[in-house]
Structure 1
Amino acid sequence: METNEIIQKLNVIVEEKKDQILSDLITFIQYNTENPPGNEKHLANFIAHKMHRIGAHVEFEEVFKERPNVLCSLKFSDNGPSFLWNSHMDTVPVGNIPWNFDPLEGKKDSNFIYGRGASDAKGSLAAMMAAVEILKELDLPLRGELLFTPVVSEERGGEGTDYFVKKGMAGRAPIAAVVGEPTKCQIALGNRGSNRRKIIVKGVATHSSNPDKGKNAIYRASKLTLAIEELHESLKNKEKNPYLGSPVVSVNMIKGGVEHNVVPDQAEIVVDRRRIPGEGENQLDEEIEQIVERIRQTDPTFEYEIVNLNMDKNPAMTNDSHFIVEKSANTIYELTGRKASLTGIKAGTDMTNLKNDGNVPSIIYGPGDMGVAHTVDEFVPINEVLEAVKFYVLLATKVLK
């Protein structure tokens, strides 16, 4: 079947299945998978049931108790490549700021579906699930295997995909992967990496009526915080990555003090450093050491401790000349008539696990905007969800041809 004929069939099938695709996405949102605690089990069962019903082979990987990855495969032949679609079932918490509607309702209007996870990344997940079903229905003479992996705990460091790469991918060697995250239906070639550290700043406690007898840990932590703000400004002058921009750093949590009348002997800050390719794994640790050395020039007894929060991820990038990028760009052009824009995700994604640890060349693609992920009144455009379904199907026909 020629590409134009496949596209014509796709347009008809997706229009016929539109209500069901959107209904499934709303159901996804209604399953509360805020992480922590995750609680992805019920959504995993829903997806597994749908995939089993269309004839896909389905397995569970129990990453944590009652928190399984789902491994779904469509096998077209014993010989041929394996092509991987990966996205995550968990979301960040709804948060304490009031929404304009129930964040777990899956509210729908003529253009958007709203709710926690609509963009990040249940829109991608629902589009991928629909695409598996349509690919099966098309019954094309493809080769190899399509592997669809809804995973747990992406929002807490990629634990689900990390487990899959180490266990579930054994015996498989996907030639390429698509990671489902919000890219506004453009091709993202990679993502930034991250370092997260808790810094415990020490002081000397004393009664607040005589503060000069002590060393106020909050004041010391404030010096460090302001120096990190200056570091962020200086990073803007570093050489930018063409797809990921400049590295960034921010202080996102602060804690200190025990009583209103006690000069505190300890304060804590949590620092998040986003890295681009070419920066070292210990970049933040080195920068903190340099800052402390400067602080000690005026406060020689400054004492601190760095705690690694064990959420480090390296940046990941696929070369723009790789075949998966070229085929993806061609797919976008054939579907929409527009030239594909190449971009990058400034946050972290599970592409790091797949590309760096699993050696699987990957792109990131999905409906929605990373700018509304993790925010109040999160939403995903309906037209992008449907476009993503077509993209995933047509790309698979090219990779598994």
Structure 2
Amino acid sequence: MGRSDLPADILYEHRVTDYVAHLLQGLNCIVERQTVQPGRDNLLAHYDPGHPAPCHLLFEAHQDTVPVDGMTIEPFAAQREGNRLYGRGACDVKAGLAVMLAAFVRLVRERPAGSARVTLALTVDEEHSFLGVQALVRSGFRQGRPHVAIVAEPTRLHIVSAHKGVIRWTLETTGRACHSSRPEDGINAIYRMSRILLALEQYAERLRQRPADPLLGPRTLAVGRIQGGVSPNTIPDFCRIEIDRRLIPGETVAEAEADLLAWLRHAVGTDVPFTLQTAHSPCPPLSPQASMEWVERFGQIIDAVVGHHTVQAVPFGTDAATLSQAGIPAIVFGPGDIAQAHTRDEWIDLDQLEPAAEILYRFATQAEALSKTLSAART
């Protein structure tokens, strides 16, 4: 089924939210719901160790998944074969959510001495507009702003410390419709768009020639979709394209848009009118600088559990960038491989789940070491 075919009662995240809220309330946790949109609530739970804790951690995972169109397996059957569990969201990112939940529940039940304060935040709308994490940042935090965040994404138990940002625009040209037997009576919006498209192709190449980020590579731009006209015998009075722009650290959304507009005005002039609008909330790039000390400490925990890790930069966007911009150093980590995310037969390697939960638990239980990391980060 495509998203439009789904019954209304299973659209969006509310059933996941209800299930996890019920589980956490049964543990006598302080649980909050933040309504972001109708039927779409962020869920927050708070662990207080009961002693002065110098460090406050945020475990963050998104509740939503991408649509199920074109899947070759039953999307919601959670079928297991060997060490694989198949289903939409198994990899991105229900497995990451599950291990964060497992580590958090263990903290609440065992209340280990010397642990940090932990906020578990399960956000909505990461796969489309990042509205959930933006609402989370705006609302503040019950226990004060966390000192560091671990953001669940499929990283194969490695660390992602940097990624590109993304902004998507819709660009439209207009014309004047008429019968195609007399095209001279109209203005063809698709022909107008053809000039825009040639200019964008040139601009994309110019972007790639600019100095690249040493970790993430070049800025990129791509046109991914085009729509226009109503029939072959009508001169089209509109044409619309969707543009994907990937940002590198140091770029801002406003600067990227201003640069694109300046190029288009130069390349196509004023005789091709167009409008450019942001399609949804952008995701900023994630720079590794703010999290360097935390990455080193978290890497030591990974090595103690599974023996090794790497620190990587990736081209896709995550909630970590919004948290980092709000002053919370963020590390991206979780079970699963991004190669399986959003695929027709999405699956998760179950062998990675217990080590991932153990890594998160150990990280949260070492408040003294975390306090030293916090002091080093501040200096």
Per the normalisation by structure 2, the TM-score is 0.87
Partner residue, 1:369: 337
Superposition deviation, residue 33 in structure 1: 10
- Contact 1:44 / 1:70 at 8 angstroms: preserved in 2? yes
Superposition deviation, residue 112 in structure 1: 1.5
Partner residue, 1:27: none
Partner residue, 2:204: 232
Q: Amino acid of the residue matched to residue 174 of structure 1?
A: P
Alignment of 1:27-106 (within 5 A): 39-80=12-53, 81-95=55-69, 97=70, 99-106=71-78
- Contact 1:327 / 1:398 at 8 angstroms: preserved in 2? no
Comparing 78-87 and 37-46, the one that deviates more: 37-46
Partner residue, 1:387: 355
Counterpart among 294, 297, 316 of residue 324 in structure 1: 294
Aligned pair in 2 of structure 1 residues 48, 37: CA closer, same or farther (>3 Å)?
closer
Say yes or no: does 1:308 pair with 2:281: no
Superposition deviation, residue 168 in structure 1: 4.6
CA RMSD of aligned residues (A): 2.6
Q: Amino acid of the residue matched to residue 286 of structure 1?
A: D
Say yes or no: does 1:178 pair with 2:150: yes
- Contact 1:197 / 1:271 at 8 angstroms: preserved in 2? yes
Gaps of 5+ in 2: 370-379
Aligned pair in 2 of structure 1 residues 83, 64: CA closer, same or farther (>3 Å)?
same
Q: How many residues align?
A: 363
Superposition deviation, residue 312 in structure 1: 2.0
Comparing 252-261 and 314-323, the one that deviates more: 314-323
Secondary structure of the residue aligned to 2:81 is coil
Counterpart among 216, 221, 235 of residue 244 in structure 1: 216
Q: Separation in 2 of the partners of 1:213 and 1:36?
A: 50
Gaps of 5+ in 1: 1-31
Per the normalisation by structure 1, the TM-score is 0.83
Superposition deviation, residue 225 in structure 1: 2.5
Alignment of 1:2-401 (within 5 A): 39-80=12-53, 81-95=55-69, 97=70, 99-169=71-141, 171-282=143-254, 283-296=256-269, 301-319=271-289, 322-338=292-308, 340-357=309-326, 359-399=327-367
Aligned pair in 2 of structure 1 residues 378, 34: CA closer, same or farther (>3 Å)?
farther
Q: Separation in 2 of the partners of 1:121 and 1:284?
A: 31
Q: Separation in 1 of the partners of 2:80 and 2:298?
A: 29
- Contact 1:217 / 1:264 at 8 angstroms: preserved in 2? yes
- Contact 1:70 / 1:150 at 8 angstroms: preserved in 2? yes
Q: Separation in 1 of the partners of 2:368 and 2:149?
A: 12
Q: Amino acid of the residue matched to residue 188 of structure 1?
A: V
Q: Amino acid of the residue matched to residue 319 of structure 2?
A: D
Q: Amino acid of the residue matched to residue 379 of structure 1?
A: W
Comparing 167-176 and 35-44, the one that deviates more: 35-44
Q: Kindly, what percent of the aligned residue pairs are identical?
A: 29
Q: Separation in 1 of the partners of 2:20 and 2:81?
A: 24
Q: Separation in 1 of the partners of 2:337 and 2:262?
A: 36
Aligned pair in 2 of structure 1 residues 53, 115: CA closer, same or farther (>3 Å)?
same
Q: Separation in 1 of the partners of 2:243 and 2:7?
A: 23
